[in-house]
Amino acid sequence: MGTAMEHTTLQRLIQDARTILQDNLHEADGKLFVMPSGSLYPAAWGWDTPQIAEGLYADQPDTALRLLEDYLSYQWPDGMVPHIVFPGIGHGEKFDATAYFPPPHVWYMTGDSIDDYAAASPDSFMRHPDYAHTEGKTTGIAQYPIWALNLRRMHEQRPIPPKRLEKLVEQLDRFHRFFHEQRDPEGLGIVAEFHPWIGCDNAPPYDKALHRIAATATPEELESIHRQRVDVKKTIAAGGDPSVRPTDEDYVAFLKIAHGLARAGEKRHRGEPVTTDDIPFVVYSPMLNGMLSRAEDDLALLARAAGREDIAGQAASRAGKLRQGMMQHLWDGEGFAYLDGKTGEKENVAFLGSCIPLLDEKLPDNVRDGLRQQLRERFQDGFRHGFATTARDNPARIAGKAGFEACYWRGPVWLNMNELLAPYSDNPKTIRDDALGLAAKEGLREYYDAETGKGLGADRFGWTAARVMGWAKEALHETAQQKTAHGRFSERIIGESANEHHRSRA
């Protein structure tokens, strides 16, 4: 774990982070967006955007707010904030198949088999009822609702102008309501993930569900997916190991779920009830529910600041309902489990996401104590760089060639997760300084091997840059304070000894 860092290294990290965030900004459709990374993710993502905006806020407050506002202008009529926005593509156009896979039109295709998506006829997606309002520029799912957390921290740093704050609060209120209205198919009081691309694509808790879906794939479908995958080609071209990415089986399942959701969307538009039978993947996770209950409380604070007591009251009561539902359906006495809504199976799979309810500071003390212990014992102790995303005792961890510590959401260290959870660990500064050490040595990468610290995945990664910028500024500030304190101390000592000298001579 890390040690205090040189002044010049911290300044270099801040400068690198600034350059990356600036370079990843782009304008299209008269709006401002930020890419997670120009190399692997050339569009705008739904949980990256607010995390990056927070990083930009100190230097460029207006740009940061525009990023949030412009992304939210693609919010769906049901309140969903889409997982990806592909700005700049026109009606009926397809996103460049060599730049990213899969392109957005897959979210409007209702077949059940893997297609050649670059060759798909516009007729196969443009007639979908959701295509009309999105113009095909967005995907059909949401990502983790981290927006209110980031916005609250931005507002605390420097108050957001009242009118802009109120509009953002209204949009986030609709986003949160979307989860309760559209993602609680059994009325459990907790909300479900309908696709792993909500944020932790190939995390071990999804293994069984993904395997069940991919089991129906033909060899031709697997071959077709392999041929179309741009992420693997780009990883190899950059000299990386493709086994740090999800497998082709995972991708077959990702695509089949997308088609299933497009079919469910058509059904909803026909006015027919949509049940869990219509949704291929239904997972109630502590990560989503814990983050949403915290986000509801943050939204309540923001709503109060914007003079919207109505929204504040509703958000706080939604948070209470989630808390109760989590304890009833996901708490197993020792930790939070993932619940598969298709099979009813509940498993505490030792994935770092199971500690995310720590963000909800209103959960009972004994629950929070248990989670702190899990965070330390399962995800920190015994790893050189913490927190690892998958505990060593997780039997489901399957190593890619590069080792499980290196495979995407199956083990590596993600700095945004570190930053969210560090305040609840025994040693937040050690986590921070270690993360800064990784960034200084390996660059601002998407994730890092939990054992060797090697930088992996996309380079020049936005939310890593945002986190590193915040942490490096904090560390610099501390060094400056220590210097001042040391300076005062030295001045006092020098002063005292000078007086003594003076006295002894007198």
Rg (CA), the chain: 24
Residue 197 beta carbon to ligand DGY: minimum distance, rounded to whole angstroms: 4
Q: Which of residues 82-111 bind ligand DGY (CB under 6 A)?
A: 83
Residue 231 beta carbon to ligand DGY: minimum distance, rounded to whole angstroms: 6
Residue 40 beta carbon to ligand DGY: minimum distance, rounded to whole angstroms: 7
Residue 486 beta carbon to ligand DGY: minimum distance, rounded to whole angstroms: 46
Output the 3-class SS for 147-209: HHHHHHHHHHHCCCCHHHHHHHHHHHHHHHHHHHHHCCCCCCCCCCECCHHHCCCCCHHHHHH
Find the residue with minimal CB distance to ligand DGY.
197
Residue 449 beta carbon to ligand DGY: minimum distance, rounded to whole angstroms: 18
The smaller minimum CB distance to ligand DGY, of residues 83 and 454, is found at 83
CA distance 209 to 338: 11
Total interface residues for ligand DGY by CB under 6 A: 4
Instruction: By CB under 6 A, tell whether 471 contacts ligand DGY.
Output: no
Residue 139 beta carbon to ligand DGY: minimum distance, rounded to whole angstroms: 8
The smaller minimum CB distance to ligand DGY, of residues 335 and 457, is found at 457
Query: Which candidate, 12, 10, 39, places its Cα nearest to that of 23?
Result: 39
The smaller minimum CB distance to ligand DGY, of residues 356 and 440, is found at 356
The smaller minimum CB distance to ligand DGY, of residues 228 and 425, is found at 228
Nearest 5°: phi and psi at 452? -90, -20
Residue 193 beta carbon to ligand DGY: minimum distance, rounded to whole angstroms: 13
- 248-277 as b/e: b if 16+ CB within 10 A: bbbbbbbbbbbbbbbbbbbebeeeeebeee
* Contact residue for ligand DGY among 33, 108, 179, 197 (CB under 6 A): 197
* Amino acid letter, 504: S
The smaller minimum CB distance to ligand DGY, of residues 135 and 231, is found at 231
229, 231, 236, 240: CA torsion to nearest 10: -150
Torsion sign, CA atoms 360, 362, 363, 368: positive
The token pair at 460 is: 């020049």
Residue 208 beta carbon to ligand DGY: minimum distance, rounded to whole angstroms: 20
Contact characters 219-238, ligand DGY, x per CB under 6 A = ------------x-------
196, 208, 353, 189: CA torsion to nearest 10: 80
The smaller minimum CB distance to ligand DGY, of residues 4 and 99, is found at 99
Burial class of residue 448 (count of CB atoms within 10 Å of its CB; 0-12, 13-18, 19+): buried
Q: Which of residues 474-493 bind ligand DGY (CB under 6 A)?
A: none
The smaller minimum CB distance to ligand DGY, of residues 57 and 76, is found at 76
Contact between residue 108 and residue 64 where contact means Cβ atoms under 8 Å apart = no
* Contact residue for ligand DGY among 54, 115, 166, 201 (CB under 6 A): 201
Q: Where along the sequence are the contacts to ligand DGY (CB under 6 A)?
A: 83, 197, 201, 231
